[in-house]
Amino acid sequence: MWNAPARKVTQTTRRRAGTTSAIIPSRRRADVRRRLLRWYDRHRRDLPWRRRVDDPYAQWVAEVMLQQTRVGTVAEYYERFLHRFPDVCALASARREDVLKYWEGLGYYKRALHLHQAARQLRHSDRTVPSTVVELRRMPGVGEYTAAAVASIAGGERVAAVDGNVARVIARLFGVEDDVLSPTGKARVCDLASQLLPAKRPGDFNQAWMDLGSAVCTPKSPECRRCPLRSVCRASATGQAESLPVRGDGRRSQTHEVSSVVGIFVRGRTMLASRRPEGGLWSGLWEFPNVEVKNRSAQARTLRRLAQQCEVALVSRSRRVGVVSHQLTHRLFKFHVYVVAAEPNGAPSQTAGLRWVSVQAFARLPVSTAHRRAFQTAQETISALMR
Ligand code: SF4
């Protein structure tokens, strides 16, 4: 939890909250606000969602897309999504597969499902997207940061939106040496952010932190020389800019590798696609049947087992066409892709979530990036089998 609403902060309330950051003198607060907002007015990024700052729906969609995703990637998706679903009614009326299709490639698909679910709840109760933190927090998929960002930008609510990016800048600015992921470090950073937040233009102020963290006070090699806060920055004065913030999140923790066999079973001019179960990773997306494999030598055996699970008989020699790697935060997926002709085993398959689809129909389904790449890797071999 990063966020804390702006409030009148006294030394007593701070002690009660377990933080020990000092009250920032009013002149320093005013100085930081003035410098940061002036810089923002000159250097703000031109982002599509900033053309609709008064629209809570537009801000909500943007903030949900921006969770775990880079601004450059989001911009393209955002415009297409808003064009297809221009308001909460359009989103609520859409089929879930349609929403997933417009999210395809953006990852963390649960976010799209939460947007859709929330839109339907709002329509059901005949409401629009709210613009206060309290109401936003009741919506599925809206955490503290997202609620604070939307409420401050679209609703003008005085609440600090503090994510890891903002925390980095504030930790450097005040020389916070606590681990910014520890409860004490988080509380201290949020306290400082709340104290600094102005009553006027809180949304712009929150966005100014974000832009400064992205363009100037970057994780590596911050550009202090062109920073508007340099003359009041503790880390810059003490030479700690590159060593702060302190993070004890085990970022160097090992990546766990997961290997899977992917079976592209071809029958006539169709391929077998399977739909992922609800919840969990890639929830509700379509993919090729696949199963985890522990060791490389077991891949052929695993493919036969996969065919049995899908109730198909293999009717040609399988061809291994390549490996598709896909990195998530702490997991590296390796998909070993096989193509083989197959026929339903006896009676038509009753296995839930399986469907024979043409290449064209597969293109229309919402599919994870990894399996879209698996298809591209196997395309020539699939075409040859379909001839
Ligand atoms: Fe970050 Fe340097 Fe600016 Fe301080 S002076 S806020 S370390 S870029």
Predicted confidence (pLDDT) at residue 251 exceeds the cutoff of 60: no
Predicted confidence (pLDDT) at residue 241 exceeds the cutoff of 50: yes
Q: For residue 244, which atom of ligand 1 is closest to its CA?
A: 7
User: What does the pLDDT look like over 38-70, one tens digit per residue?
Assistant: 999 999 999 999 999 999 999 999 999 999 899
Predicted confidence (pLDDT) at residue 16 exceeds the cutoff of 50: no
Q: For residue 224, which atom of ligand 1 is closest to its CA?
A: 2
357-371 residues labelled b (16+ CB within 10 A) or e (exposed): beeeebeebbbbebb
Task: Tell me which DSSP letter residue 367 carries.
Answer: B
pLDDT confidence bin for 4, thresholds 50/70/90:
low
Best residue among 35, 40, 166, 169 to mutate for probing ligand 1, ranked by most atoms within 8 Å of CB:
169
Q: Which residues line ligand 1 (CB under 6 A)?
A: 169, 172-173, 216-217, 222-224, 227, 229-230, 233, 235-236, 241
Question: How far, in Å, is the centroid of ligand 1 from the Cα of 181?
Answer: 20
Question: How far, in Å, is the centroid of ligand 1 from the Cα of 222?
Answer: 6
Task: For ligand 1, atom 7, name the residue with the nearest CA.
Answer: 241
Best residue among 233, 242, 243 to mutate for probing ligand 1, ranked by most atoms within 8 Å of CB:
233
Question: 67 or 280: which carries more pLDDT confidence?
Answer: 67
Q: For residue 172, which atom of ligand 1 is closest to its CA?
A: 7
Distance CA 232, CA 29 (A): 10
pLDDT confidence bin for 13, thresholds 50/70/90:
very low
Distance CA 32, CA 29 (A): 5
Please list, in sequence order, all residues whose beta carbon lies within 8 angstroms of the beta carbon of residue 272, skipping any fewer than 6 positions away: 263, 264, 265, 288, 289, 310, 312, 342, 354, 355, 356, 357
Nearest CA-CA partner of 52 in 79, 92, 84, 91: 79
Distance CA 359, CA 375 (A): 9
pLDDT of amino acid 348: 57
Task: For ligand 1, atom 1, name the residue with the nearest CA.
Answer: 217
Question: How far, in Å, is the centroid of ligand 1 from the Cα of 168?
Answer: 9
63 is catalytic: yes
Predicted confidence (pLDDT) at residue 343 exceeds the cutoff of 80: yes
Question: 329 or 323: which carries more pLDDT confidence?
Answer: 323
User: What does the pLDDT look like over 286-324, one tens digit per residue?
Assistant: 999 999 998 878 888 999 999 999 999 999 999 999 999
Question: How far, in Å, is the centroid of ligand 1 from the Cα of 29?
Answer: 16
User: What does the pLDDT look like over 351-369, one tens digit per residue?
Assistant: 668 999 999 999 999 999 9
Best residue among 32, 224, 226, 242 to mutate for probing ligand 1, ranked by most atoms within 8 Å of CB:
224
User: What does the pLDDT look like over 161-204, one tens digit per residue?
Assistant: 999 999 999 999 999 988 988 999 999 999 999 999 999 999 99
Task: For ligand 1, atom 5, name the residue with the nearest CA.
Answer: 230
Both tokens assigned to 251: 């970022």
- Average per-residue pLDDT for the chain: 90
0.75 cut: is pTM over it?
Answer: yes
Distance CA 58, CA 354 (A): 36
Question: How far, in Å, is the centroid of ligand 1 from the Cα of 78?
Answer: 30
User: What does the pLDDT look like over 142-160, one tens digit per residue?
Assistant: 999 999 999 999 999 999 9
Question: 6 or 219: which carries more pLDDT confidence?
Answer: 219
Question: How far, in Å, is the centroid of ligand 1 from the Cα of 204?
Answer: 19
Task: Tell me which DSSP letter residue 349 carries.
Answer: P
